[in-house]
Amino acid sequence: MNLKKSSSLPKIIAWAAAGVVAVALVISSMYSINEQEQAVVVTFGKANTVSAPGLHFRIPFVQQVHKVSTVINGFPIGYTPGTGEAIEAESLMITSDYNFVNVDFFVEYKVSDPVKYLYSSKEPVQILKTLAQSYIRDTIGLYPVDSVITTGKNEIQAEIKEKMIDRLEKEDIGLQLVNITIQDAEPPTAEVLEAFKAVETAKQSKETSINNANKYKSEQEPAAVAQVDEIIKKAEASKAARVNEAQGQVARFNAMYAEYTKNPLITKQRMFYEAMEEILPQLRVIINDGEGGVNKILPLGDLSGTDAVAAAAGSTQEGQ
C-alpha cells in the first residue's frame, strides 16, 4: 500500500506543476488597455496596433505586447522644469537686428502612431526636441528683438508650429505636435531689460492716447455730422431761394422784353418813369447861386403844405 502511494506522488506533483504552468500561461496571455493608451502586438516580427480599451489576449511566447501612452506630454526648452533655472545653451538666441535674447519654450506632443513611434526611430522624443530647437532658432533669427519680447510672440509661435508640423509629416516618426508656446522672453542683461520695459510703457501710453482720441472722436462726431447736415440744409434752402428769385427775374425780364418788342418807345418811357419814381423821392438837390443864397430846392414837394412852409423858412434864413 505504501508502495502505491509512493509511486503516485510524482504523478500528482507533475499534474500540479502542469496546472501551475497552465494558470501562468493563461495569466500571461491576458493584458488590458485603458482609454489613454494603445498596445502594439508583435507576431513573428509583424506589428499591429490594438486601440480598443478593455481586456485582450495574446499567444504566449509568440506574441509580444508593448503599451504606448496616448496622453499629451511635453518638455521645456530653455529652462529646467520645477526650478525654472535658465539653460542658456538652449535659451540664448540672436535676433535679426543682432541683439541677444533669452527665450523659453514649452512643447506639447502626443503619440499619433504607436508602431512608428516604437520602431521608426530610436528616440523620437529627442528627435522632436532637436527639430524644435532648430526651428526656434531659425525663426527667432527672422524677427527683431522688439517683436520677440513684446508684440510678435503669437506670430512667432504660429510660424514655428507650422514649420514643425510640416517637418514631422515628412519624418513620420509617430509623433504629433500639439502646441508650442513661448513661456518667457527677455534680454540677457538687466539694463537692456529696463530699456525694453520703458519701451513697453511708452507703447501702452500710445495705445491709451489712441483710445482716448477714438473716444473723443466718437463723442464729437455725431454733433459735427449734425452741424454739417444743418449747414447743408441752410445752403440748399438759400440756393433754392436764389434760384427761385433768379427765375422770377428772368420771367419778368422775358415779359418786359416781350412788351418791348411790341412797343419799344412806350416801354422805354414807362421804364424811365418807373426808375424816376424810385430815385427822385430819395433825392434832394440844393442849387446855390454862389453868393450864399438858395435859389431853388428840389424836390419842391407839396408847396401848399408843410413842405412849403419849411422851404420858405429856409429861404428867409438864408437871405438873412
- Boundaries of every domain in the chain: 28-68, 73-188, 211-282, 284-319
Query: In CATH, what class is 73-188?
Result: alpha beta
20, pLDDT greater than 80: no
Give percent of the chain with pLDDT exceeding 70: 76
Q: Which residue has the cell 532648430?
A: 134
25, pLDDT greater than 80: no
For residues 290-318, give the mean pLDDT.
50
Tell me the three state secondary structure of residue 291. Answer: coil
- Given a contact cutoff of 8 angstroms between Cβ atoms, the answer to whether 136 and 105 are in contact is yes
318 — pLDDT class (breaks 50, 70, 90):
very low
113, pLDDT greater than 60: yes
Phi, psi of 304 (to 5 degrees): -95, -5
**Mean pLDDT, the chain, whole residue set:** 80
Say what the pLDDT of residue 165 is: 95
3, pLDDT greater than 70: no
Q: How far is CA 24 from the centre of its chain?
A: 65
Q: Which residues pair with 80 in a beta bridge?
A: none
Strands 73-77, 100-111: pairing is antiparallel
In sequence order, what DSSP letters do the residues of 175-219 get, joined into one string?
EEEEEEEEEEEE-SSHHHHHHHHHHHHHHHHHHHHHHHHHHHHHH
Say what the pLDDT of residue 86 is: 85
Question: Which of 108, 37, 22 lies closest to 68, judged by CA?
Answer: 37
Query: pTM for the whole thing?
Result: 0.54
CA contacts within 13 A on the Cβ side of 279: 7
For residues 78-89, give the mean pLDDT.
88
Q: Which residue has the cell 428769385?
A: 245
